[in-house]
């Protein structure tokens, strides 16, 4: 992987990881467009740019890392359990879904879900406006919804945000809980892959790894902030339309 490819993938990861448009789906598609083979070195690169996204969340929510927020993190941990268990048990089977047709189809399905949800959703009826107020029951249901993100193209952020909206969170609270929930999910995925590809984090691969890490971190940090400002004025309709259009293009091109 050259530095140009590293920058492009770093930007893609940084933008898409926390938006409801599937980072995995975009990385699969863009990697194919850039003719990037799925070698161990390139898989290690994806681990690194995901890890930088974790750091972006930590920096944005550094005030949450204290004992007075222990209840919130307990709820985050509970919400992580469903996807953690299913991902661990079926990770070999899940890999078989990493194809463009599956990604394109799930983009469209997810887009339709967002449009239908926004048609019926009333922000004034949302009871939870602060992530600290989420109940354990709501956290569990959001975690269950997140399991669908194991299908490439679904979007981890999208699945958890939909789950949040369905159980009574407003748009901003749903997005913020999705950000926090990314920490254990990405940490588990990155940790698992690091054990598999640890020998690739050295030598000639370092320049691309370093560039991708920095680019992904900066873009992810800014994306989180801009996304929250966006949700104060707008809905998820635009993301739904984007998903349907992008998914349709993918299916037409294969």
pLDDT(30) > 70: yes
pLDDT digits (tens, 9 = 90+) for 133-174: 999 999 999 999 999 999 999 999 999 999 999 999 999 999
pLDDT at 41: 67
pLDDT, residue 40, reads: 66
Per-residue model confidence as pLDDT tens digits over 103-112? 999 999 999 9
Check residue 201 and report its DSSP letter. S
**pLDDT number for residue 56:** 94
- With a pLDDT cut of 70, the percent of the chain lying above it is 93
* pLDDT for residue 161: 96
Q: How far apart are CA 43 and CA 40, in angstroms?
A: 5
| Three-class DSSP category at 109 | helix
pLDDT at 73 over 90: yes
pLDDT the model gives residue 97: 81
Closest C-alpha among 49, 43, 53, 50 to residue 200:
43
d(CA 112, CA 98): 21
169 SS3 class? strand
Per-residue pLDDT at 50: 83
Total domains in the chain come to 1
Average pLDDT over residues 86-91: 87
**pLDDT at site 70:** 95
Question: Tokens for 169?
Answer: 């969170």
The boundaries of the domain holding residue 145 are 3-253
Q: Write down the pLDDT at residue 33.
A: 87
Q: Model confidence over 175-230: pLDDT tens digits? A: 999 999 999 988 887 776 666 656 655 555 678 889 999 999 999 999 999 999 99
Query: Dihedral sign, CA of 102, 107, 110, 115?
Result: negative
pLDDT attached to residue 53? 87
Tokens of 104: 């394109």
Q: Is the pLDDT of residue 5 over 60?
A: yes
Q: Is the pLDDT of residue 81 over 80?
A: yes
Q: Which residue has the higher pLDDT, 243 or 209?
A: 243
Does the CA dihedral 121-249-149-144 come out positive or negative? positive
- Both tokens assigned to 228: 């929250």
Task: Supply the mean pLDDT for the chain.
Answer: 89
The pLDDT of residue 140 is 97
Question: Residue 181 has what pLDDT?
Answer: 95
Q: Is 128 helix (H, G, I), strand (E, B) or coil?
A: strand
- Measured CA to CA, the distance from residue 102 to residue 250 in angstroms comes to 10
């Amino acid at each position: 992987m050259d530095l140009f490819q590293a920058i492009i993938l770093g930007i893609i990861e940084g933008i898409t990881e926390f938006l409801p448009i599937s980072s995995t789906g975009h990385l699969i598609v863009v990697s194919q467009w850039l003719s990037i083979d799925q070698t161990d070195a390139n898989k290690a690169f994806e681990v690194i740019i995901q890890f930088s996204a974790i750091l972006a969340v930590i920096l944005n929510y550094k005030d949450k890392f204290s004992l007075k927020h222990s209840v919130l993190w307990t709820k985050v941990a509970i919400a992580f359990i469903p996807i953690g268990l299913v991902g661990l048990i079926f990770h070999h089977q899940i890999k078989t879904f990493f194809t463009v047709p599956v990604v394109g189809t799930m983009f469209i399905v997810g887009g339709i879900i967002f449009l239908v949800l926004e048609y019926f959703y009333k922000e004034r009826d949302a009871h939870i406006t602060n992530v600290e107020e989420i109940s354990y029951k709501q956290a569990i249901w959001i975690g269950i919804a997140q399991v669908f993100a194991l299908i490439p193209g679904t979007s981890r952020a999208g699945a958890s945000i939909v789950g949040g909206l369905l159980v009574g969170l407003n748009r901003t609270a749903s997005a913020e809980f999705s950000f926090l929930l990314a920490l254990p999910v990405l940490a588990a995925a990155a940790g698992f892959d690091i054990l598999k590809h640890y020998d690739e984090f050295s030598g000639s691969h370092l320049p691309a790894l370093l560039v991708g890490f920095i680019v992904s971190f900066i873009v992810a940090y800014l994306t989180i902030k801009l996304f929250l400002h966006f949700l104060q004025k707008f809905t998820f309709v635009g993301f739904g339309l984007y998903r349907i259009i992008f998914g349709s293009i993918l299916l037409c091109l294969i």
